[in-house]
Structure 1
Amino acid sequence: MVSLRPGGIYTKAQFQMELETLATCGMFEKVDLEGKTNPDGTMGITISFKESTWQSADKFRCVNVGLMPQSKPIEMDPDMTEKEKSEYYLRQEKDYKRRIERARPCLLPIPVHREVLQMLRGQGNVSARLMQKIMNQVQKWYHDEGYVWAKVMNFGYLNSKEVVFEVVEGDITQLVVQFHDKLGNVCEGNTHIPILRRELPKQLGQGHVLNIEAAKQALRNIRALGLFSNFEVNPRPDEKNEGGLIVEINLKEFEQKSAEVSTEWSIVPGHGGRPTLASIQPGGTVSFEHRNLKGLNRSILGSVTTSNFLSPQDDLGFKFEYVHPYLDGVYNPRNRTFRASCFNSRKLSPVFIGGPEVDEVPPIWVDRSGVKANITENFTRQSKFTYGLVMEEITSRDESSHISPNGQRVAPSGEISTDGPPTTLSGTGIDRMAFAQANITRDNTKFVNGAIVGERNVFQLDQGLGIGSKFPFFNRHQLTLTRFIQLKEVEEGAGKPPPPVLVLHGHYGGCVGDLPSYDAFTLGGPYSVRGYNMGEIGAARNILELAAELRIPVKNTHVYAFAEHGNDLGSSKDVEGKPTEVYRRVGHGSSYGVGVKLGQVRAEYAVDHNSGTGAVFLRCGERF
């Protein structure tokens, strides 16, 4: 409690203030400050005191006196008679009791009350030192629970046996939202205030006690909106209400409109083998975004990608999307978002891949273009339900971009044959279809010192509507279950080591009805069965994948061992054209190996159990 420090230089007024502070704090009956001059001109200060003591107590009460009206204290006249002094003290006692009875209950839980009672009952007379210890205990609980603006303002006796602690807890008296321009000046924002308020935790509203975790959650939610380049939550004392806080949320908005061009230049040989101006191919991506339309967080996004802007029709890729959050209204607590998009894409089909004993098979590319509309309902930040409609045109092409109705094979003579399995349902190389799609994700995972633990379940359903080429009617369903099991309890906190984790993963996929080859389930690859190429194990109507991975923390990363198995459940023969059999794949396979996480990269050594050979792989992202 003493602010004087050796080596400091102080004035007489500062010494006097120090003495008054100690004498009026209520902890001491008597305080003396004595100074003695040393031969070298410095002073030695001695503070002697006698602690205050009170009679024993067996009751404890803690009340929140924040925001209570402050009555002006009645000063005692030194010329009062003994009777007037007695009446004065009686009136002071009544005023104190009335103040305590009108105060609100505090947040201090029953277990802490019991701890304090044990401390009081374990003593005879209550000393100032014990009161200080109790005060530290009370404030420690508040700060440990995130109420960092709470503090003990006073303590005393209400009755002869009851100790009362008066606290202010940091009640929020006002929530202020302010927008700032590029220069930091307060300005009028584009975003509607209800958009922001619905993202704020209820604990951050007026009438609640400010908790540091609620403030952090508010920052996370504001960041997730993606509307602001800078955002702050600043509490400050309310000068009109003792113990009250005004919470200011300061925001700086992104520009509503933005565009970006990224280019890639491919130089190809011209006449004579030298590049000429005509042979320089400029490629890249043009993207634009118009965010926060009408201040309601709606947005339009688009991108166009090609490897040659001078002749973009060869490989032009595009995606345009409209996002409409708060579908049921800003004030409706139901959190649904509508999305509509038109797109095209090109991917290498893993269905037409040769097995380990087959020479390289000419690739088949699958182009998809169409429109998609869906509604996403967020149950929690990680769990959601999405349902919608997809209409698309699918085109199968060879490596020369020609339409390919059938897969290709390499004949024993070395010639390429085009009599492989059909690539589309219609048999023409082009399919059109419409289907309904739904996906429900239940994700209860969390991070413990950087390691993910918990469980995640995903169920997806695609239902053909009988609209399109050959009136496709099908039901395609998938279920994925993943468990991240924490094997050891650890202390959580910054810099603490993560726990070892066992990952158990299962994935089932099945399809009944019309199944085009490009929608068949494939086995093998970095996100199926590691150690194999994409689709190397087979393509099937039904598949089952099982995996286990043990993660052991090492310094700032983790090493892991894994084992995986994939099986077509005998359904490869039910895919039209039997691509698994044609390309000599076995339909089932296992792998095992070890790996280490290096930032966002996974370095793995995996053994292909079918061939018994191993290889090193570098993969980006997470397997599960």
Structure 2
Amino acid sequence: MFIKKILFFYVYSVLNLVLIASSEGQTIEEKEPESPTCTTANCLQPTEIIPEQPSDTRREIILPNPTRLRFSIFGNQETGNFLFGFGRTLPDNTALKGRTREPVVQSLSTYQSAFPIIGFIGYRLAENQRIVFEGRGETRSLGGDLSYSIAPIGSQGIYSINIQTQRGRSTVFDEGKRNVDLPNNDNAWVHRYGGGVEYAQLIDNINLAVAINYERISIHDAMFSNQVFARDEFGNRMTVSGEGQDDLVTFNLAGLYSTVNDEAYPTSGTRIRVGVEQAIPIGEGSIAYTRVAGNVSQFIPLNIFKNRQTSDTLVLNVQAGTYLGDVPPYDSFSLGGGESIRGYSDGQISSGRSFIQGTVEYRSPVFLSFNIFKQTIDTRGIVFLDYGTDLGSQYSVIGRPGVVRDKPGWGIGYGFGLHIQSSIGLFRLESGWGNCGDYAFVVKVGDRF
């Protein structure tokens, strides 16, 4: 209880200081003449879903992620200070946790459907403040994120606080050659709720964010069930505490470096994501670990077809991560699926302490372009090769979920597909084969890199 009071006081103090800074900043702003140049503060105004290229790169901290689905035809309306629509509007680089927030690596432990429903609603409280709720719903997961952001006048950064909740089926506790359920023969659902405080700043081409987060994590037998489970049907632990629920307090650092020529569909440049998470042993489970992850993508224009207006591209991607200390089973690195090793279902390959995966993907120039409802549709072909391994680390995860489900630990996927790009977003139709004879056809929204 004493520790929780300290955390509450810390959060309260940070917000109080931020609000004071905001009040002082607005007084100064009244004395200064208006300037057409974008500042960090006025960048917090609601933006259209397909914004123009900003003149000040600090605007990128809070712009919507352009690689994700967005409906500019009938959604994303702005009326005064009010903003709502479909798609994502939270920043692309963040150290806060939430179902709709962008991860450093794509080894996710929650299922992702082909067409999730993602929407947001926001309100601009002042020139330098906004509040946004963003939600995501699909057949096997549901999540919501309520955040408040402020950019004090004269400050180079943005302060944010959020509360979030998410419930979903876990790829860690599914898939594999052996089916393992809960003692009542139902599937395991992971429930999370919590919040955090973040500071984010853009320095040249590097976007940095630091945050402190708290989550209560528990295992249930349905999306809206109150019954808690500590172990599976064979007695293997599914939480660190062994009581069916854990408290997770973490310090998070997230960084994004990007020099790509097009955020939505790059054909040249580099994009690097890094993340460090330090868990503090507080509350149920007393979880302590250091998690490090990295994601590097290089887009190389080949220009093999000289008579094309668009270039073909070679994409090289490497992702890796590891835990030092405890490895909560529900957060182990999950390999396999459309965002990982194609040709396999989500989480089919591994649930490990560590992982490394690489991808080589060739993207052709646009070979077919047409218009539908005054929207230009560009179509490209792709071929790919994916490889991933957990480096034999499944045995060191608490409860050994990958071992008891007989997941192979490594895999190779290869195949081809179509990328259909429009103002709404990027649609990926990909057929993949695994080295063990598996086949998977996936339809995804947004670029995986």
Whether TM-score is above 0.5 comes out as: yes
1:588 aligns with 2:393: no
* SS of aligned partner of 1:446: coil
What percent identity do the matched residue pairs reach?
24
| Whole-angstrom CA distance in 1 between matches of 2:326 and 2:255 | 24
Matches within 5 A, 1:580-619: 580-599=402-421, 600-610=426-436, 612-619=437-444
Separation of aligned partners in 1, 2:335 and 2:216: 25
CA-based RMSD of the aligned residues comes to 3.6
The counterpart of 1:256, out of the listed 81, 90, 95, is 81
SS of the aligned residue for 2:403 comes to helix
Aligned equivalent of 2:257, options 436, 439, 442:
442
Q: Which residue of 1 aligns with 2:383?
A: 561
Pairing 1:622–2:447 present: yes
Matches within 5 A, 1:331-480: 332=155, 334=156, 336-356=157-177, 358=179, 362-380=186-204, 383-399=206-222, 401=225, 402-407=227-232, 418-447=233-262, 451-480=266-295
**1:474 positional shift:** 0.6
Equivalent pair of 1:354/1:584 in contact (CA under 8 Å): no
1:12-411 to structure 2, matched below 5 A, reads 197-199=36-38, 218=55, 254-257=79-82, 288-291=121-124, 293-294=125-126, 296-302=127-133, 318-325=144-151, 327=152, 329-330=153-154, 332=155, 334=156, 336-356=157-177, 358=179, 362-380=186-204, 383-399=206-222, 401=225, 402-407=227-232
Find the aligned partners of 1:580 and 1:344 in 2 and give their Cα distance: 26
Higher helix share: 1
Shift of 1:419: 2.7
Contact 1:490 1:497 in 2 (8 A): no
What is the CA distance between 1:289 and its match in structure 2? 2.8
What letter corresponds to residue 439 of structure 2 in structure 1?
G
1:232-251 Cα offsets, whole Å, 9 max, x none, are xxxxxxxxxxxxxxxxxxxx
Alpha-carbon distance in 2 for matches of 1:438, 1:448: 22
Q: Distance in 2 between matches of 1:562 and 1:348?
A: 28
- In the superposition, the TM-score normalised over structure 1's length comes to 0.50
TM-score, structure 2 length as denominator? 0.68
Partner residue, 1:242: none
When Rg is computed on C-alpha atoms for both structures, the one with the higher figure is: 1
Return the offset for 1:587. 0.7
Q: How many matched pairs? A: 344
Q: Is the CA contact 2:267–2:312 (under 8 Å) kept in the aligned structure 1?
A: no
Task: State yes or no: 1:517 paired with 2:329.
Answer: yes
Q: Deviations over 1:385-413 (max 9, x none)?
A: 01110011111111372212123xxxxxx
SS of 2:320's partner is strand
| 8 Å Cα contact 1:451-1:499 kept in structure 2 | no
Instruction: Between the two structures, name the one with larger relative contact order (CA 8 Å, sep ≥ 6).
Output: 2
Structure-1 separation of matches of 2:390 and 2:36 = 50
1:503 aligns with 2:315: yes
Contact 2:380/2:418, CA 8 A, preserved across alignment: yes
Deviation at 1:451, TM superposition (A): 4.6
Q: State the match for 2:8 in structure 1.
A: none
Code of the residue aligned with 1:517 in structure 2: it is P
Instruction: Give the Cα separation in 2 of the matches to 1:467 and 1:259.
Output: 38
Could you say what secondary structure the match of 1:469 adopts?
A: coil
Partners in 2 of 1:223 and 1:575 — Cα distance? 37
C-alpha spacing 1:345/1:512, structure 2 compared with 1 (3 Å): same
* Amino acid paired to 1:289: G
Q: CA deviation at 1:485?
A: 1.0
Instruction: Quote the Cα distance in structure 2 between the aligned partners of 1:514 and 1:487.
Output: 44
